[in-house]
Structure 1
Amino acid sequence: MPLPRARQIVLAASERRRLKKLAYSRTAPYQQVVRIRIVLDAAHGYANARIALRRQVHIDTVRTWRGRYADQGMDGLKDRPRSGRPPRFSPAQRAEVKALACQLPAETGVPLSRWSSGDLAAEVTGRGIITAISASTVRRILAAAALKPWQYQSWVFIRDPDFAIKAGRVLDLYQRVWDGRPLGGDEYVISCDEKTSIQARCRCHPTLPPGSARMMRVNHEYDRGGSLAYLAAYDVHRSRVFGHCAPTTGILPFMTLVEQVMTQEPYASASRVFWVVDNGSSHRGKAACDRLAARFPNAVMVHTPVHASWLNQIEIFFSIVQRKVVTPNDFTSLDQVKDRLTAFERRYNETARPFEWEFTPADLEDLVARIERHEQKECSQQPPGHSHQPAALPTAA
């Protein structure tokens, strides 16, 4: 009985260039590359046995992909649909898992603050929705719907009726504008705040440095050595930090920081120095503005809106301090904390550059417009006589 002849492959010039490009691709799937190289060898006139030897595959594999390409072209090199294992859970059961994940545990009578995959798996089986299901399967079901009930994001109501005006003033200052006019060369913007309760935790065993295949090791047990407050002022455009430590926050420590900055050049002889502060008790309200102006006539205090400390650039510097200086906390005394903060301040000032502030007045307008649309939508959905809460801003969890 004569053997079947190999299928002939004839390629056009454009088709050959396309296949060669794929055959030497570094990103295409390996199986696809092998199949394309089989087709190119066949078009070159090689026999099936020689192609199998060249590509280190079985001769039946060569016959399969050679024949499929001859019949269907590039579509013939794709995998055919496979039935696979039938799904264990019905669409209705998957929907019930997602619906349960979208409820607060307390509303369902479960004494938890938020769901985990394991908690959801136990609750689903306990209710008889599914006979048995693993936590990893629950996680895959939720991932398909972009649900992560174990995560949360906090938010806060806007209580300041002048939110847009106050926020706009701060953002204008970051762009060196005040009351619609550019700031002069002898006008400066200072961002200021306090970082409270920095503790001195003396570990019971020394911290071990990292080594080969080992991260830094910090002992869990420690003795408390007290706490202090770190007050800092940041020149927004000159990227320079001034700070000092105090036993606690208050009007006197804040004014000490102001004195430290305003008695040195170029601020002492500046025409105006704008101090951007939040609404903390040390510098809250008109009394704080008057107190600052009385001591330094060229100083202007500018408050961020209530619950909008994220508009204060000094918070970025404090986050750097938290990551690079305070964590992990291993200090023998408060004096060591002070020395470390002072040394880091000098180090930071040597290479600091202004922060790339991205929230602009245009972004503020978009945010206010979005909040107004949200409030109008809520008002239209509320029954008559129902009290309406102001819209909320997201904050970092």
Structure 2
Amino acid sequence: MADTRLEPVVLSETERITLHGWATRRTTAQGLALRARIVLACAEGGSNMAVAGRLQIHRKTVARWRSRFLRDRLDGLSDEPRPGVPRTITDAQVEEVVVRTLEQVPEGATHWSKRELAKQVGISPTSVLRIWRAFGLQPWRTETFKISPDPLLIDKIRDVVGLYLAPPANAAVFAIDEKPQIQALSRTSPVLPMLPGVPERRSFDYIRHGTVDLFAALNTATGKVIGKLSARHRAIDFRDFLAEIDRQTEPGLAVHVICDNLSAHKAPVVHAWLLAHPRFTLHFTPTYSSWINQVERWFAELERRCLERGVFCSLDDLKVALEEWIKVWNDNARPFKWTKTADQIIDRICRYCDRISGPAH
């Protein structure tokens, strides 16, 4: 038998192009890409030891794939069939798992568990879970939705999204909402700090020290927030907040305010204030559509970064923390980027309505 350590590797033009494609294409399996690089290196010349040194791999690896290529050419670089346990789960059982998961529920329950379904189909719970993962099924999860019944849904979506994507010239756009009843909570025991391998720990129960309401106006262009703390969120409190926005906004700019349909936003006292300040224009979001108000995204950051794990031993501590959070945010303000057009949102709502309006619903 010829010594493959010295036998030259001569490639045809077709083989060279194929090997270069395997060696450089990202979608190629990692093992096949390495084998292609080994053969290409061998074609440049040199012993197995020299090629192994250039590629920083073991010489036996080079010897194996050089000999297989010389014997079988490109076909020799593919993986050979490997021994293993024969398949025990039939296509019919896979289909039964999927169909039962999608179309049936177990007796006396609302959804399948892997053990209940495994017992019905006659396979192991691990196999059921593997099939669920392959088909993207998660029967233990559920989500909620609400379709807005607002008769002006389409007009309001176009109005609000238009302010995000194409704001008027010489104008400031604010997304406004209230976060009511923010609780000042302290734990009944001191918080235990995080340690290597141990997360921060806190007692399950807590003590309430009062509540405060937060009015927030997010400037959609700059990301900065105007905040105001209040004991309540009545119409006159909302009016006073609008006055605060008026004081902090450049006099020459028109002001467009995006807010929800809370009755306090439409009260006579607010209407009278708007008549006296004609540069202000209110834009209302559709009912049950808080997701379209960008300030809700800021409230989510506030909850996650400041309130969720905060410990406030008094109402004053809570107020100081909220004011500090707003100050820190404004020092590093960044706007949220709105990407969906009004037509994309409306089309998605229409598709969802089609799905839930069929005979099965």
Query: Which secondary structure state, in structure 1, belongs to the residue aligned with residue 238 of structure 2?
Result: helix
> Per the alignment, do residues 261 and 5 of structure 1 end up closer, same or farther by CA in structure 2, a change over 3 Å counting?
closer
For residues 172 and 90 of structure 1, what CA distance do their matches in structure 2 show?
54
> Per the alignment, do residues 161 and 55 of structure 1 end up closer, same or farther by CA in structure 2, a change over 3 Å counting?
same
- Judge conservation of contact 2:182–2:212 (CA < 8 Å) in 1: yes
CA deviation after TM superposition for structure 1 residue 164, in Å = 1.4
Query: Which secondary structure state, in structure 2, belongs to the residue aligned with residue 157 of structure 1?
Result: coil
CA deviation after TM superposition for structure 1 residue 352, in Å = 0.8
Aligned to 1:90: 90
- Structure 2 residue corresponding to 1:366, chosen from 344, 352, 359: 344
Query: Which secondary structure state, in structure 2, belongs to the residue aligned with residue 142 of structure 1?
Result: helix
Aligned residues: 352
- Structure 1 residue corresponding to 2:124, chosen from 128, 133, 153: 133
User: Which shows bigger deviation, 26-35 or 271-280?
Assistant: 26-35
| Aligned residue runs from structure 1 range 244-283, under 5 A | 244-262=228-246, 264-266=247-249, 269-270=251-252, 272-283=254-265
TM-score by length of 2: 0.80
CA deviation after TM superposition for structure 1 residue 341, in Å = 0.3
For residues 25 and 160 of structure 2, what CA distance do their matches in structure 1 show?
53
CA deviation after TM superposition for structure 1 residue 46, in Å = 4.9
Aligned to 2:309: 328
Aligned to 1:306: 287
> Per the alignment, do residues 56 and 139 of structure 1 end up closer, same or farther by CA in structure 2, a change over 3 Å counting?
same
Query: Which secondary structure state, in structure 1, belongs to the residue aligned with residue 160 of structure 2?
Result: helix
Counterpart code for 2:114: L
Query: Which secondary structure state, in structure 1, belongs to the residue aligned with residue 146 of structure 2?
Result: strand
Aligned to 2:149: 159
- Judge conservation of contact 1:208–1:217 (CA < 8 Å) in 2: yes
For residues 245 and 199 of structure 2, what CA distance do their matches in structure 1 show?
40
Percent identity (aligned): 26
For residues 100 and 374 of structure 1, what CA distance do their matches in structure 2 show?
24
TM-score by length of 1: 0.74
> Per the alignment, do residues 370 and 5 of structure 1 end up closer, same or farther by CA in structure 2, a change over 3 Å counting?
closer
Aligned to 1:217: 201
For residues 38 and 239 of structure 1, what CA distance do their matches in structure 2 show?
56
Aligned to 1:229: 213
| Aligned residue runs from structure 1 range 34-73, under 5 A | 37=38, 44=45, 46=47, 55=58, 57=60, 62=63, 65-73=65-73
Query: Which secondary structure state, in structure 1, belongs to the residue aligned with residue 117 of structure 2?
Result: helix
Describe the superposition over 1:160-209 as per-residue Cα deviations: whole angstroms up to 9, x where unpaired: 121111121112223454xxxx43x2x32221101123222211222244
> Per the alignment, do residues 65 and 259 of structure 1 end up closer, same or farther by CA in structure 2, a change over 3 Å counting?
closer
Counterpart code for 2:131: I
- Structure 2 residue corresponding to 1:173, chosen from 163, 166, 170: 163
- Judge conservation of contact 1:272–1:298 (CA < 8 Å) in 2: yes
Counterpart code for 2:79: D
- Judge conservation of contact 2:217–2:226 (CA < 8 Å) in 1: yes
Aligned to 1:110: 108
CA deviation after TM superposition for structure 1 residue 144, in Å = 1.5
Gaps of 5+ in 2: none
Query: Which secondary structure state, in structure 1, belongs to the residue aligned with residue 210 of structure 2?
Result: strand
Counterpart code for 1:138: V
For residues 235 and 36 of structure 1, what CA distance do their matches in structure 2 show?
55
User: Which shows bigger deviation, 325-334 or 232-241?
Assistant: 232-241
CA deviation after TM superposition for structure 1 residue 274, in Å = 1.9
Describe the superposition over 1:123-168 as per-residue Cα deviations: whole angstroms up to 9, x where unpaired: 330x3x21x412x332211121122223333221231121111121
CA deviation after TM superposition for structure 1 residue 376, in Å = 7.3
> Per the alignment, do residues 93 and 265 of structure 1 end up closer, same or farther by CA in structure 2, a change over 3 Å counting?
closer
> Per the alignment, do residues 366 and 17 of structure 1 end up closer, same or farther by CA in structure 2, a change over 3 Å counting?
closer
- Judge conservation of contact 1:191–1:233 (CA < 8 Å) in 2: yes
The answer to whether the aligner puts 1:357 opposite 2:341 as a matched pair is no
